[in-house]
Structure 1
């Protein structure tokens, strides 16, 4: 019988089908025997049929509960990556043994390039193909999502009950660390190439917790058929939810676990408990790579008793504290660490080997006492079994820990601090003590100021903030910050400011101090402010702020044109288009005022900022981080330039704000056709009275929610190999993707229009006027925009609050207050429909109160 037949039988048991048939036959018989003439009796019969049909599945399920076996083996097999063929091989290894009267073997298998995910009940066969019955054939599952693993676990418990459970994740692994994007396959564990997701170490706890939450008892054995997972940091995450953990300190060979060998042992003796099975797993694994079923390769595996992890933490803490107290031995510690058994990721080192080598060199009583105590616990209680194959792993005792370099620690410190072992233990503090002073090391990190429009001019009052950093591992005492004007062009209005403490390896900004620029301060001069910080221990450290004083920038309009050079021909084309369209605007000159900042942009949060990047480097003048913050706060942006896509193709701003994917540079077409908001608009981007400077226009693709508003018109084939010849004799590609030349974005808090060519290249004044008017009309914020943005901020606020932390809470509340003011200023009684359609939330109700809609709220 094929899989389809088995699947149909599984979905609808024979007992249910036959029972239903008998009900229908009985109903028909009663109708034929005299009830045909009674409509009432017919309805009663039909109702009885429906009731019984509802009850049938319940009866069928009650009669088909599978018996409780000794073991159920759950393999979460994520082959949606470059290990796909190895996954198929391992399923075939399982089929050489198959499930038995006392052992269930179930697999959730996702393959590379497959359109679905399958759940198998593994049955014995001798075929090189997977022939086990497909119990569920599901749509594509994200095997990098921890919740998918939980769903698999609950399904297996419901359908294949057992006295003991082994749950294993099959995939790439990288220990506790989430690797960088360039190493996408080696992020945490279970990287899914289809979704790009992976399971983080902290999420392993959520997976393992499904067992006690669902069954009332711990998972017997959790295992990782993956590289580098047998770490103290990983084991500590799941200690409260499972009894035993099996994994490898080193990378695993491509063949992974010897499923035929270990399952044969279990099927032969299913009465094994978790510790006994873990021992078998280690022994069969090591033997398989020692000339056994999987050849001869370098490999190691171990089993850890998770019930001993709390005691392990206590002893590791004592050992860590002893080393922290003797910071003078750091040089010797680093030498020992360098000689300790290391693995593929060199920052992962064997704990037992480290302790033994340290004890051989250090005579400090506290370190020796706590070290011997920890080592004894690991050998006698924690490590159930450990084995290796190859002398290169001779220092492997069963569990590794994180021993980073200083640069690795700096990069991963925040992520490492999120682990449960870091939150409850002292190992992370020992690592910090290796590289950082045990006393506060303070300095003035930076001095900044905030002005209402980002430009300092005579008569301005500024809020000056001083940031104090602590490069030591120990928290500071109180720090007092004061300011002094070096010349007579400024006066200090407030201060001094006090910081209660600066935590180790942190930076804290002192409360702002007011500084007044004198009314007669010369324009184009420089004001110098000196900052002095005094630590409670008497140490003094200083810094200096130099502020250029410029001619006043007055905000008169809702549109800001940012230009690199005010007098060039390109700028004149923009100003003329704005004037022709009847749009009032302010102008900011980068070559005079410098790179614009968020305070300036915020003055136009209820309007639009326009910027053109003529070449490759000009986009850097805009200050993209501040532009992103401006958009997050509700701004609108009109951005044009022939090299923006090329320049920003790998920059997060391109994906997250422009919502554009770079396709190619120097497309051969110089004619654009509008669609969407520019429907009916068409023209050339060279010649005429335009700038005639579009030598390298980009082709891009729109990423949702962006939509195209300009397409290149080209007679060239859309085939990638088709080229046209430019005037300079070079071969240029035609349209090779969507041909998008411009796009519009309307997303949550902001709106944006991006042209992948320079607006100044549009060939006629009328065309430039039309495009400018339509674009600015689209970008003008509306009540619906503000209400939609408020809903987006409400969602962000909820996520920040859920993440915990006072800083996150304060950030969320600040954004909420800004957006409420912004929305209330835009929404009137005539905009009731926009408010009514918004998602209900606390912010929605506050908006109603703020604008006094009265009857709109419910």
Structure 2
């Protein structure tokens, strides 16, 4: 069914934070978008912040033109770590291309909810790090840390230098402005988009690493119904925009769930050898998921109070599917591994746990509405991760600020366990 006059079925807004080591990947993805281009029913808008010429440009992406011909606005140098930068783009996109449905894509480095206190960690090494600073003998700008930690076009921040412990990670890194967009600011951005559209965003996509976490989903539950992203680090090619958009253009009447499921399918299909994950989460189920994890936390808190129970929990966590950042573990596999270990220790314990979590598998299936993975290292993925630091490691200092931590006893468990 054609969109009403002057209104699209879908407007796709891709916010590319390319002022970093991912600039070439951003340009490649822009070309993928151009292979399909905007149509009468689907508009494709991009904001790209480049490192090469210190220029941010907005594009109305079309097929059969050059990228330069698609430029509709030049903004000069911007800071993708400033939430206002993203808010302005999404407001502009909604005003320019009103639609029945909106897909907002946040494209960049990503690392879930881990935003460790780099200042405290730096002090142990005798290094002063500031978010916005010029490098001096005693001060290192945070952007330089990000650059040192980044691996080429790999979309996660891990490093081999002495500063690799300083993993202050969020969703949008800007190496020129030495700033980043953290998860609280991400919620602020998407709340502003919701205010502009006067309803929840149809679908939020993370073309970034490690973002499909229960904690982040719970944080965003009020601003969108669906989130699509990866449990694992993404390869440098990221999303296959050409095949995803071709499907949408061929069927512009897709619902948000259909489009999200298409992204999951096309993403995993696009990789022949890489180990990849992708899943679509229904955030309308996030409150029930929080209740289930609260029950799980209570069980695990009780178990670790006795030696046999602690050993069972510890073995289960060690055996659980983990990812590039090992403190992010698969929630569904955690429950499976816990039940296996408890069966060894005490069938009665297993039955008690199973009784408390008997709705867990069905609930997880209603929360993770589409999931796909490929590769031996991610073979037990079920679609959503949760934060679980190992014993003797430090719990993220910002974790207790998250709405999920305030709602559940999971933070009490990880504090007691770690």
TM-score, with length taken from structure 2 = 0.83
Partner of 2:322: 342
Partner of 2:361: 375
- Please state if 1:158 is matched with 2:110: no
- Please state if 1:305 is matched with 2:282: yes
Query: Which structure is richer in relative contact order (CA contacts within 8 A, separation 6 or more)?
Result: 2
Tell me if the contact between 1:69 and 1:162 (Cα under 8 Å) persists in the aligned partners. Answer: yes
Partner of 1:105: 44
Partner of 1:641: none
2:185 paired residue among 197, 200, 203: 203
Number of equivalences = 361
CA RMSD of aligned residues (A): 1.7
Distance 1:269 1:103 in 2: 10
1:266 paired residue among 241, 244, 248: 248
| 2:259 aligned counterpart, secondary structure | helix
Gaps of 5+ in 2: 119-141, 151-156, 158-168
- The Cα shift of 1:241 comes to 0.6
Distance 1:378 1:144 in 2: 33
Tell me if the contact between 2:315 and 2:341 (Cα under 8 Å) persists in the aligned partners. Answer: no
Structure 1 or 2, whichever has the larger Rg, is 1
Tell me if the contact between 2:23 and 2:51 (Cα under 8 Å) persists in the aligned partners. Answer: yes
- The Cα shift of 1:361 comes to 2.2
Runs of 4+ in 1 over 6 A off after TM superposition: none
- The Cα shift of 1:66 comes to 7.7
| 1:377 aligned counterpart, secondary structure | helix
Query: After the TM superposition, which residues 417-566 of structure 1 pair with which residues of structure 2 at under 5 Å, given as runs?
Result: 417-435=400-418
Partner of 2:139: none
Residue-by-residue CA offset, 1:583-626 (whole Å, 9 max, x unaligned): xxxxxxxxxxxxxxxxxxxxxxxxxxxxxxxxxxxxxxxxxxxx
Q: Call closer, same or farther: CA 1:192–1:183 in 2, change over 3 Å.
A: closer
- The Cα shift of 1:132 comes to 4.4
Tell me if the contact between 1:285 and 1:301 (Cα under 8 Å) persists in the aligned partners. Answer: yes
Q: Call closer, same or farther: CA 1:332–1:170 in 2, change over 3 Å.
A: same
Residue-by-residue CA offset, 1:464-521 (whole Å, 9 max, x unaligned): xxxxxxxxxxxxxxxxxxxxxxxxxxxxxxxxxxxxxxxxxxxxxxxxxxxxxxxxxx
Distance 1:416 1:199 in 2: 16
Q: Call closer, same or farther: CA 1:309–1:132 in 2, change over 3 Å.
A: farther
TM-score, with length taken from structure 1 = 0.41
Q: Call closer, same or farther: CA 1:133–1:66 in 2, change over 3 Å.
A: farther
| 2:78 aligned counterpart, secondary structure | coil
Gaps of 5+ in 1: 1-64, 291-295, 436-858
Normalized per residue, the structure richer in strand is 1
Query: After the TM superposition, which residues 399-414 of structure 1 pair with which residues of structure 2 at under 5 Å, given as runs?
Result: 399-410=384-395, 412=396, 414=397
Query: After the TM superposition, which residues 750-829 of structure 1 pair with which residues of structure 2 at under 5 Å, given as runs?
Result: none
Partner of 1:143: 80
- The Cα shift of 1:183 comes to 4.4
Partner of 2:382: 397
Query: After the TM superposition, which residues 663-742 of structure 1 pair with which residues of structure 2 at under 5 Å, given as runs?
Result: none
Distance 1:426 1:132 in 2: 53
Partner of 2:334: 354
Distance 1:115 1:347 in 2: 36
Distance 1:275 1:109 in 2: 27
Residue-by-residue CA offset, 1:675-701 (whole Å, 9 max, x unaligned): xxxxxxxxxxxxxxxxxxxxxxxxxxx
Distance 1:267 1:132 in 2: 21
- The Cα shift of 1:407 comes to 4.0
2:198 paired residue among 213, 216, 223: 216
Tell me if the contact between 1:66 and 1:159 (Cα under 8 Å) persists in the aligned partners. Answer: no
- Please state if 1:318 is matched with 2:304: no
Residue-by-residue CA offset, 1:359-393 (whole Å, 9 max, x unaligned): 122142432223332232002x1001110111221
| 2:113 aligned counterpart, secondary structure | strand
